[in-house]
Amino acid sequence: MPKVKSKQFQAPKGMRDILPEEQVYWDKFIKSAQRLAEDYGFQKIETPVLEDAELFVRSTGQTTDIVTKQMYTLRTSSHVRLALRPENTPGVLRAYLQDGLVNLPQPVKLYYYGPMFRHEQPQAGRWRQLYQFGLETIGEKASIMDAQIIQFCFHLFRLLGLTKINMHINSIGCQQCRPAYRRALVDYFRHRKNKLCPDCQRRLKENPLRLLDCKEEKCQPIKAQAPATVDYLCDECHRHFKEVLEYLDEMEMPYFLNNALVRGLDYYTKTVFEFFLEENEKYSAIALGGGGRYDDLVKELGGKPTPAVGMALGVDRIVDVMKLTLKVKPTYNPKVFLVELGEMGRRKSLKLFETLHEAGIVTAESFGRDSIKAQLKNADRLGVKLALILGQQEALDGTVIIRDMQSGVQETVPQEKMVDQVKKRLAKN
């Protein structure tokens, strides 16, 4: 056989492994978020990672960067065009319509967690496989729902030890009032067209609201003077926005009115918001998450007119920030270490390990190590209170040695009394 040089495989560009040492932060986030979501009355939903690509074109938006530049698509052998989901609101609404959730008492309050995929230029805080945790409240138009979603976010940030959070908020109106705003915007930018970046010149034709999203240096001063949506809101949108802000004031939640905030998706109506980390070089510019109201989207996807509001948090970014500020204890915390010696001891050790586990005693081991010295060293490193030693003789006699790691005192006990004896000693300390 000809020799083939072995290849060192790499994860795809912009994607990464999340290693055990980092998992404590992920676990802390996910457990806190799930628990809080359930306390707020949200139920978990999981949807496929792959969806009909058309779903995102119709909802996220035909002219958005997410759909035109960042979507991973594939064609199946039967020529169906699928996309790896770049975000999850469209999938959740598809499920809401397909699975009859529309027939449940409204609003339907759902939460989700999972990977999203965006083919972006990799840079700090941006991954091509990113994780989002999101809430959707579907079927209620009251402004208190917007406030509840925002309250959840601040509540969760607090549980995670993130206190320096800034929220930017805006209202981008509805189908009634947006055309007038759009006209004002186009009018304003058309007169300054030559000063805009090429992307913005294109946006001016395709999707003028996106102009406010531009990050190019040269567009910033023009953007700053642009007409503000809040000056064009219809009575209904104006009242709704005012109420949301009143709820925030009532809860003493800080916010910053940002006229330029439009979000990168097409389906938003009325309230939009984003969260940033204060005084942080990296994360004062990249949002930790955001959301808003999307009252027309269910109808757009073929349902009855159904108002809804939601948000998604970027878990990768939040974990990044948690690592700066939070000490998380590892969840693996064994109290007992099982040492096995000799052929018989080794053979019986797995069964004993299981007995301890069933009795709720978290037990560590280093099976496969021959020397007692090496095994006890590991026991010491883990800081366990007791070591259980199962040697050749003990295995034959049906006993086990219990060693107090601190005093070094040892006692041989019958295996059937092991659990009681261990529990008694652990309780004493």
Q: Residue 272 Cβ, how far from Zn ion at the closest point, in Å?
A: 13
| Shortest distance (Å) from residue 175 CB to Zn ion | 7
Give the pair of three-digit tokens for residue 252: 């003493």
User: What residues have CB less than 8 Å from 387, skipping those under 6 apart?
Assistant: 336, 337, 338, 339, 376, 379, 402, 403, 405
Q: How far is the CB of 174 from Zn ion (least distance, A)?
A: 3
CB 227 within 8 A of CB 181: yes
In the complex, minimum distance from the CB of residue 88 to Zn ion, in angstroms, rounded to a whole number: 26
- Among 4, 126, 33, CA closest to 312: 33
Question: Considering the complex, what minimum distance in angstroms separates the CB of residue 221 from Zn ion?
Answer: 11
CB count, 10 Å around CB of 334?
17
Using alpha carbons only, what angle is made at residue 143 by residues 137 and 144, rounded to the nearest 5 degrees?
75
Do the beta carbons of residue 355 and residue 416 sit within 8 Å? no
- According to CB under 5 A, which one of 68, 73, 98, 176 is a site residue for Zn ion? 176
Return the number of the residue (173 or 291) whose C-beta is nearest Zn ion: 173
Among 150, 177, 212, 388, binds Zn ion (CB under 5 A): 177
Query: Scanning the structure block, which residue is given the tokens 């729902």?
Result: 145
- Considering only 82, 108, 214, 261, the residue that binds Zn ion (CB under 5 A) is 214
Q: Which of 173, 208, 227, 290 binds Zn ion (CB under 5 A)?
A: 173
Q: Torsion angle of alpha carbons 139, 133, 277, 14, nearest 10°? A: -130
Based on CB atoms, which residue is closest to Zn ion, 200 or 339?
200
Size of the site for Zn ion (CB under 5 A): 11
Judged by CB under 5 A, the residue of 142, 159, 234, 413 near Zn ion is 234
Q: Does 307 bind Zn ion (CB under 5 A)?
A: no
Strand segments, DSSP code E, in 294-359 are 308-314, 336-340
Which of 167, 219, 265, 338 touches Zn ion (CB under 5 A)?
Answer: 219
180 to 199, contacts with Zn ion by CB under 5 A? 197
* Closer residue to Zn ion, CB minimum distance, 219 or 379: 219
Exposure of 120 by Cβ count < 10 A (0-12 exposed, 13-18 middle, 19+ buried)? middle
CB of 220 vs Zn ion, minimal distance in Å: 8
- Rule CB under 5 A: choose which of 84, 95, 172, 200 binds Zn ion: 200
Point out which span in 68-76, 117-125, 214-222, 242-250 binds Zn ion (CB under 5 A): 214-222
Residue with tokens 């119709």: 58
Rounded Cα distance, 237 and 229, in Å: 11
Please report, as residue ranges, which positions from 237 to 276 form the binding site for Zn ion (by CB under 5 A).
237
Query: Smallest distance from the beta carbon of 213 to Zn ion, in angstroms?
Result: 9
Footprint of Zn ion (CB under 5 A): 173-174, 176-177, 197, 200, 214, 216, 219, 234, 237
